[in-house]
Amino acid sequence: MKLVCISDTHNKHSQIPIPTGDVLIHAGDITEGGTEREVLDFLKWFSSQPHHYKIFIAGNHDFYFEKNSDKDILKIIPENIHYLKNSGVNINGVTFWGSPITPGDGTWAFNQKQTQEINKHWDQIPQDTQVLITHTPPYKIKDVSGKGKHIGCASLLKTLQNRKIKYHIFGHVHDSYGITSVAGTKFINAACLDNKDRFLHKPLDFHIN
């Protein structure tokens, strides 16, 4: 099964050439301002992609998904899209889990302080998760900002050390695009835009058995 990964498209999704594959995954920041209009435009585009399965989570720019109830959100999600919010889906025997949470002071959507506030979200990640999708990277893994600082989530890293996750897909930090492997887990920062919101990075893909 081929997974195609993108993130941080910030309304520029239609400019990005998407490879063929079985599962298309977006790791958040589908919008710039988090408005309903932006969300609907993305969903129309995402739904039209030929991949048999499509999964996305919200990011810290995607205020619409924080301000509206899950019930109202599900009304606008096309049937061929899986929207994950601290929830999971099993596709052909592969377990996916997605969360929009990012560390922060509450200025942005889905911000949580790196205390028990954020731990309660990471604790929900099932032990049998094979593919984890978060917006934030874990601390010190593909998380270096343009200012040279590590801005990933330390609490998430600690949680991952107690899981046997094969693949972790995220974005958020535009400057740390790419793939690396640490302790048996492949980490994929799929941010498509650079720190000036210019399309620079192609989608990343890999196969999973």
**Which sequence spans correspond to the domains of the chain?**
2-207
- Rounded to two decimals, what is the model's pTM? 0.97
> Given a cut of 90, is residue 80 above it in pLDDT?
yes
pLDDT band, very low/low/confident/very high, at 194 (cuts 50, 70, 90)? confident
For 25-68, the pLDDT digits (tens) are 999 999 999 999 999 999 999 999 999 999 999 999 999 999 99
| Helix, coil or strand: residue 58 | coil
* pLDDT tens digit sequence for 122-165: 999 999 999 999 999 999 999 999 999 999 999 999 999 999 99
Residue 94 pairs with which residues in a beta bridge?
91
pLDDT value at position 115? 85
Pairing of strands 204-207, 2-6: antiparallel
Residue 202 CA to residue 187 CA, distance in Å, equals 16
What is the fold, at CATH topology level, of the domain defined by 2-207? Answer: Purple Acid Phosphatase; chain A, domain 2 (3.60.21)
Looking at the DSSP bridge assignments, the partners of residue 56 are 26, 83
Q: What is the pLDDT of residue 200?
A: 79
Helix (H) or strand (E) holding 48: helix 36-48
Starting at the edge strand that comes first in sequence, how are the strands of the sheet with 2-6 ordered? 82-83, 53-56, 23-26, 2-6, 204-207
Spatial separation of the C-alpha atoms in residues 98 and 110, rounded to whole Å: 13
Which amino acid makes up residue 145?
A: S
DSSP for 110-174, please give it. TEE-TTHHHHHHHTTS-TT-SEEEESSPBTTSS-B-TTS-B-SBHHHHHHHTTS--SEEEE-S-G
Instruction: Report the SS3 class of residue 108.
Output: coil
